[in-house]
Amino acid sequence: MTTDSQKQRTCLECGSTDIIVGIAVTKTAETGHIGLSYKALAILRGTEQLYADLCKQCGTVVRFYVRETDKPWIQD
């Protein structure tokens, strides 16, 4: 099985394969994460950390993703 870090990614904008994988998307103040919301406990919400893959040649974000997908996602 091929893991995400082993896959060869190509930038759709410039065609480069010089991609930095797994950069955490963060806020400027360390008060939490920017990410996708899910139901945690009862009325509480959680936030799943968001990551990005970035083309070093042109600066295009090739993809956004989360590592844990088995969550009760909130869609409102």
Buried-exposed string 16-35: b where 16+ CB fall within 10 A, e elsewhere: eeebebeeeeeeeeeeeeeb
Give the pLDDT of the chain (76 residues) as one tens digit per residue: 455 555 788 999 999 999 999 998 877 666 666 777 888 887 788 888 899 999 999 999 999 999 999 999 888 7
72 in a structural domain: no
17 in a structural domain: yes
71 in a structural domain: no
49 in a structural domain: yes
* Domain carrying residue 31: 4-65
Note if the pTM is more than 0.75: no
